[in-house]
Amino acid sequence: MPDSRRILIIDDNEVDRQLYRRLLNQDPEHEYEIIEAVYGDEGLEICRNQEPDCVLLDYHLPDFDGLEFLADLNGMDQENRIAVVMLTGTGNEAIAVDAMKSGAQDYLVKGEFSRNDFLRAVDNAIEKMSLMQALEEHRKQLARSNEELAEFAFTASHDLQAPLRRTKTFCKMLEDKLGGQLDEETQEYMNCIVHCTEQMQALVSGLLEYGRVGTSKRAFALTESAEVVGEAVSNLDDVIKEGGARVKCDDLPPVMADRVQMIQLFQNLINNAVKYHGNKVPKVRVGASIEDGFAKFTVQDNGIGIESKYADQVFTIFKRLHGDDVYSGSGIGLATCKKIVERHGGKIWFDSEPGEGTVFCFTIPIPG
């Protein structure tokens, strides 16, 4: 049995309305409940109360044009969106483009379409709107899941950090109380407890940062990249001094970005560049170039490098290429970098030669 669809025809030309009604009644696959209106205000009222599946909309209405109708229709607070096919008496490409930008799903020129063209336009418009609504619902569900995940991560971080802090505190109290009474083996055990506690704290903090990236509500704003790198370097002052590292920054363009996350991004990459230096004095250079509306940033080091076979793994959360006895870390830093870059609509990758160093590259949009 054919499925039923409710169609609203808004056109002040009775001949055109009769044509559309006849074409719809010739559809072998669907049955239609057809409603007609002459004025735009009348059509909007029908859309509010009866929610048709599709509107066949004349571009020139007695009270306002089709684009104004679309603007009012899009402004309605309705759970279900309504598909629109715009019809006009002239094949004006500019009108077609404006109609599609304003929310119409299809566009037809009166007198220049066949029955199949007409029925196909109606069918496609309804299917497009159905897909758009499904995607929007999926987006809302994903947003809710992200918010729940962020709330869980914050709560878990707080609840896990507290016993870890107490563990470190009690270890320190025991060392102070016992003074020099601890033998070498016992002192080694105490040091191991503190080290494992610090590792767990770093892991929990990293997970919290990772979970917060996708739920940030800070709007992108014009951000001076050089200032961001300066803050990242300042935050890493102890690490840079300890490693004897030299960090150089070229001229960098401003970008549209979340400033806090950009600091975190550069901080993670520079920290890695300093950490994985091998036997060399670490040298880090931050540069940028403009390519196709994006700033392509590079963070170059002279460290141990990365084998190409790990290209698909380094940005995976918890994936580490070295044991903790060689290089400490949580395996979350580069995964967080990837998540930040993708939130900004960019990409991140690396070029490397084992033993010669690595260049991490990522793109961020520049002001248009």
The rounded percent of the chain whose pLDDT value lies above 70 is 85
**Residue-level pLDDT at 42:** 93
pLDDT digits (tens, 9 = 90+) for 298-312: 999 888 877 776 666
Q: Which domain holds residue 267?
A: 216-368
**Residue-level pLDDT at 322:** 45
Using CA atoms, how far apart are residues 349 and 362, in angstroms rounded to an integer? Answer: 6
pLDDT category at 43 given cuts 50, 70, 90 is: very high
Q: Which two tokens stand for residue 74?
A: 């899009």
For residue 368, the cross-strand partners are none
Q: Do 224 and 351 lie in a common domain?
A: yes
Looking at the structure of the chain, the number of domains it has is: 2
Q: What is the mean pLDDT of residues 338-352?
A: 90
Residue that finishes a domain, picked among 113, 129, 150: 113
**Residue-level pLDDT at 211:** 62
Residue 119 lies in a domain: no
CATH number at residue 18: 3.40.50.2300
pLDDT digits (tens, 9 = 90+) for 120-176: 999 999 999 888 888 888 888 887 777 777 677 667 666 777 787 888 888 888 878
Residue 320 pLDDT greater than 60, yes or no = no
Contact 58, 16 (CB under 8 A): yes
**Residue-level pLDDT at 14:** 93
Beta-strand pair 246-249/283-291: parallel
Residue that finishes a domain, picked among 84, 113, 142: 113
Residue 135 lies in a domain: no
Angle at 280 between CA 274 and CA 285, to 5 degrees: 45
Residue 75 lies in a domain: yes
Contact 56, 122 (CB under 8 A): yes
Q: Do 238 and 103 lie in a common domain?
A: no
Contact 328, 199 (CB under 8 A): yes
Q: Do 352 and 226 lie in a common domain?
A: yes
Residue 185 lies in a domain: no
CATH number at residue 229: 3.30.565.10
Residue of higher predicted confidence among 195 and 32: 32
Residue 90 lies in a domain: yes
pLDDT category at 239 given cuts 50, 70, 90 is: confident
Residue 38 pLDDT greater than 80, yes or no = yes
Q: Do 228 and 354 lie in a common domain?
A: yes
pLDDT category at 324 given cuts 50, 70, 90 is: very low
Residue 44 lies in a domain: yes
Residue 227 lies in a domain: yes
Using CA atoms, how far apart are residues 267 and 206, in angstroms rounded to an integer? Answer: 13
pLDDT category at 327 given cuts 50, 70, 90 is: very low
**Residue-level pLDDT at 206:** 63
Q: Do 230 and 94 lie in a common domain?
A: no
Residue that finishes a domain, picked among 79, 113, 147: 113
**Residue-level pLDDT at 15:** 93
Q: For 167, which DSSP code? A: H
Q: For 33, which DSSP code? A: E
Residue 304 lies in a domain: yes
Q: Do 220 and 103 lie in a common domain?
A: no
Q: Do 73 and 221 lie in a common domain?
A: no
pTM of the predicted structure, to 2 decimals: 0.53
What is the SS3 assignment for 90? coil
Residue 287 pLDDT greater than 90, yes or no = yes
Contact 6, 30 (CB under 8 A): no
pLDDT digits (tens, 9 = 90+) for 80-106: 789 999 998 877 778 888 888 888 899
